Amino acid sequence: MDEKIDHSKPVYSKQVLEFITVANEYCLFFEKAENYTSDDIIRYFHKITPLLYLKGSVLPHVDVTDELFNERYVTEEQWENIFKTLREKFGESDLYYTLDHNNDSEESSLADNMADIYQDMKDFVMLYQKPYEYSKENAVSEIRRLFRQHWGIRVLSALNAIHRIIFRSDIDAMIFPDIELPE
């Protein structure tokens, strides 16, 4: 039976379709991370995550008709493979410091954040691709919730660290204008 898609429903909105495109691109890139240099990965993340964050911030509220259709797909082994690849690529650049909600310094990891974002994006893409509208409702509702609680903050945290890596010499020149620093 061929069902007609009702494009007036939030689950088929322009915002959702644009988000799935960006999320899928993120996943495809990180699934092949072993083929890229650390610099390639850093520059890709620097360019795609502002778009991912923006598209995530405008996702519509979707009422879930049946929560039984909510599924996760990324296995611990898949997550671990991406994490280890990234950690190996980044080496000493992997770790950076952020402030937690109490303004205490805490250690963070680019590889960990990027792998976490990958997991949320891949679970969303896989669930949304199911032929059932119930699955799509759950996919959009869950990725919207995870944006607020999980991956949104990881994008911002990692992007801050990436910005500092890419523009380090410019930042150092501003902080130490009278000292000649090596490039």
Per-residue pLDDT tens over the stretch 31-61: 999 999 999 999 999 999 999 999 999 999 9
Confidence of residue 1 (pLDDT cuts 50, 70, 90): very low
The pLDDT, as a whole number, for residue 68 is 85
- Flag whether 124 is in a domain: yes
CATH code for the domain of 22:
1.20.120.1550
Q: Give me the number of domains the chain comprises.
A: 1
Q: Give the chain as a 3 state SS string.
A: CCCCCCCCCHHHCHHHHHHHHHHHHHHHHHCCHHHCCHHHHHHHHHHHHHHHHHHHHCCCCCCCCCHHHCCCCCCHHHHHHHHHHHHHHHHHHHEEEEECCCCCEEEEEHHHHHHHHHHHHHHHHHHHCCCCHHHHHHHHHHHHHHHHHHHHHHHHHHHHHHHHHHCHHHHHHHHCCCCCCCC
The pLDDT, as a whole number, for residue 2 is 44
Per-residue pLDDT tens over the stretch 76-85: 999 999 999 9
- Flag whether 132 is in a domain: yes
Per-residue pLDDT tens over the stretch 107-138: 999 999 999 999 999 999 999 999 999 999 99
Give the global pTM. 0.88
Residue 175 has pLDDT above 70, yes or no: no
| Residue 165 lies in domain | 10-175
- Flag whether 3 is in a domain: no
Mean pLDDT check: name the lowest of 2-6, 87-91, 108-112, 168-172: 168-172
The pLDDT, as a whole number, for residue 174 is 55
- Flag whether 155 is in a domain: yes
